[in-house]
Chain A
């Protein structure tokens, strides 16, 4: 039987702060990203070296998407989207390295079974991290909405529906849908990464018994390992793209009331009102 713990295991405490093994995973990913940024930032030149151009591939891929769908002010929130994407990508792929989730100390559970408490656990296989990231995303899209529309414009957009008599019906739905973004963002990432870990462990446990007859124990988990590489990329992309879409929506709400109390950029407003007129 595979030992599965839905919460991250506690390793040690520094004062009131409990350090869990998924915090170690998140810290490793951050340290890796920061040191890569320092290393390559110092060597930045107009003609990229081979290693730099490989590292620029994911950035260029995402930059094309953000430029294409982020609206006119994509430069403002592009760093946040890149940051979320790169952190989650590194954290997800780091959790697939051998040793993560397998090297640890032995402990005896309440039912007498012995299991391993790993030193490093996938960072996103802990609801605390994914909920924290979702809160960052939530605060940023509310903040960008206020920044683009002003406090009054934002509150009006949030609380008053388009035909005013529909307000009592539509406003609760609107509020719930805003808040449910928090839950769906965090649960999606947590569920995918955690299920990936459990899936790999289960596949390995299922095929270990065949080790002396067929090399299934090498083939079957390998297939799912490749699948997990893909899922790690897709989930990082989905989290970043959804954050970007929410921010873009919050900024673009201005278009419906263009020229009321906030003067946006002139070409953008003209294009938006033309779009609004044709819609």
Chain B
């Protein structure tokens, strides 16, 4: 148990905050849009998936960093 473990946990935990909020906003807005206009769900699908992927990428960066700290710097 050393500082590496703490650093990896902090990197993932703090790095998960932003994407979590972002994904929530994106998802809620998409649901709102589908609720108002259910016929638009087909056209919303691709921008929705792309937006979620771009948002989620930030969390994935944090994950990659913490994995590197855990497994590749010892």
Query: What distance in Å separates the Cβ of A138 from its nearest Cβ neighbour in chain B?
Result: 16
Q: 1/0 contact trace for A172-210 toward B, CB 8 Å?
A: 000000000000100110111011001000000000000
* Beta-carbon contact of B49 and A191 below 8 Å: no
- CA of A68 to CA of B44, assembled, Å: 11
Contacting residues of chain A (3-28) with chain B, CB-CB under 8 angstroms: 4-7
- CA of A146 to CA of B42, assembled, Å: 32
B interface size (C-beta, 8 A): 18
How many A-B pairs have beta carbons closer than 8 Å: the answer is: 49
Query: What distance in Å separates the Cβ of B48 from its nearest Cβ neighbour in chain A?
Result: 11
Chain B residues within an 8 Å CB radius of A4:
67, 70-71
Contacts A69-B46, A187-B60, A191-B61 hold; do A6 and B72 have CB atoms under 8 A apart? Answer: yes
Q: 1/0 contact trace for B42-74 toward A, CB 8 Å?
A: 010110011001101100110110011011100
Question: Contacts A65-B46, A190-B64 given; 6 further ones with Cβ under 8 A?
Answer: A4-B71, A69-B46, A194-B67, A195-B67, A238-B49, A238-B53
Residues of B within 8 A of A (CB): 43, 45-46, 49-50, 53-54, 56-57, 60-61, 63-64, 67-68, 70-72
Residues of A within 8 A of B (CB): 4-7, 65, 68-69, 184, 187-188, 190-192, 194-195, 198, 234, 237-238, 241-242, 245
